[in-house]
Amino acid sequence: MDEIFGIPAPLLFGQLLLGLINGAFYAMLSLGLAVIFGLLNIVNLAHGALFMMGAFVAWMLLNYAGLGYWWAMLLSPVIVGLFGMALEKLFISRLYKLDHLYGLLLTFGLALVIEGVFRNYYGSSGLPYRIPDQLQGAWDLGFMFMPVYRGWVVIAALIFCLTTWLVIEKTRLGAYLRAATENAPLVQAFGVNVPRMVTLTYGGGVALAALAGVLAAPIYSVNPQMGTNLIIVVFAVVVIGGMGSILGAVLTGFTLGVVEGLTKVFWPEASATVIFVIMAIVLLARPAGLFGRA
């Protein structure tokens, strides 16, 4: 029991746990992307930048307004969500009739602009954000030291993912949303304001990204590149899980986090590429993704 595949067991368990934690971020971000893609048909490349904004707004709330972590969890998604809705109204809504590619280019451009602005004012070194006092410290699990905050990230991510899934699958609002994806003119004919609903959905997806940003702020330094590093991986996650599949996005997020964690033990240099290798294999075998409907 001491060694598994030549790796000390404690190390392996530690990596599994860490994989879950990273998976939590992948899951939350890919969930937002999946919701936006499912309902708006927009490949939202600005998602990483909005995740970064979520972390920055948390930092600003603390440093300019004196509002701590818990306030940031509440306010940052609202602020960034409103910003996202403004983006949708002003820019993205004009592209629904065009090819996917235009939405992709537009949101990519928006991401570069947002990141550039933050880099210009705050530099690239990153800004410190403290772990809240209630979540300081760590549990000694024997095989590893488990920081309380990382545990909280996994639990919080699970709660948010589950809530989103419930809202979309089990509520009346969710039913409208799903109906609008299938046939927007018909739903509109029943008296539902579809454009407004689409704006709110985009805002909701963006708020999820911002929430993930707040969760990430105390772990990674708050810096303008933090989204760029994640977004490509998260896209791979969405593609593997199946575009638009909510449950697929969440499950794939956690699973790939674990796979990546294990790669870091067995072949560290490949840990940045393993997800893309999996993506290539999945695309060859099941082009619609693991959970997608062809």
Partner 1 sequence: MALGRRTLIASGAAAGVVTSLPRLTRAQAANTIRIGVMTDMSGTYRDNTGPTSVACTEQAVAEFGNRGFNIEVIQADHQNKPDVGSNLARQWYDQGVDLILDVPTSSVGLAVNQIAREKDKAYVNVGSATADLTGPACAPTTIHWAYDTWMLAKSNGGATVRAGGDTWFFITADYAFGHALERDTANFVRASGGRVLGQVRTPFPGTSDFSSFLLQAQASRAKVIGLANAGSDTQNCVKQAAEFGLTRRGVKLASLLLFINDVHGMGLQAAQGLTCTETFYWDLNDRTRAFTRRVLPRTPNNYPNMIHAGCYSATLHFLKAVADMGVPAAKASGVAVINRMKAMPTEDDAFGRGEIRPDGRRIIPSYLFEVKKPEESQGAWDYLKLVQTTPAEEAFRPLNEGGCPLVRS
**Nearest to partner 1 of 165, 220 (CB atom):** 220
> Which position among 55, 265, 279, 282 is part of the footprint of partner 1 (CB under 8 A)?
265
| Sequence-ordered list of residues with C-beta below 8 angstroms from that of 194, at least 6 positions apart, any chain | 180, 184, 187, 188
Decide: residue 161, CB within 10 A, 0-12 exposed, 13-18 middle, 19+ buried.
Answer: buried
145 scored as a contact of partner 1 (CB under 8 A): yes
**Nearest to partner 1 of 140, 182 (CB atom):** 140
63 scored as a contact of partner 1 (CB under 8 A): no
Decide: residue 121, CB within 10 A, 0-12 exposed, 13-18 middle, 19+ buried.
Answer: exposed
144 scored as a contact of partner 1 (CB under 8 A): yes
**Nearest to partner 1 of 163, 273 (CB atom):** 273
User: Taking the CA of residue 95 as centre, how many other CA atoms within 13 Å lie in the half-sphere pointing to its CB?
Assistant: 19
Give the 3-state secondary structure of residue 145: strand
159 scored as a contact of partner 1 (CB under 8 A): no
Q: How far is residue 253's CA from residue 234's CA, in Å, rounded to a whole number?
A: 8
220 scored as a contact of partner 1 (CB under 8 A): yes
**Nearest to partner 1 of 124, 171 (CB atom):** 124
195 scored as a contact of partner 1 (CB under 8 A): no
> In this structure, how many other beta carbons lie within 10 angstroms of the beta carbon of residue 120?
9
Among candidates 84, 41, 40, which has minimal Cα distance to 213? 84
Write out the E strands in 30-162.
Answer: 138-140, 145-147
**Nearest to partner 1 of 61, 187 (CB atom):** 61
Min separation Cβ 53 and partner 1, Å: 17
**Nearest to partner 1 of 47, 150 (CB atom):** 150
Interface ranges with partner 1 (CB under 8 A): 8, 10-11, 14-15, 18, 21-22, 116, 119, 123-128, 130-131, 138, 140, 144-145, 147, 149-150, 219-221, 223, 225-226, 229-230, 261, 264-265, 268-269, 271-273
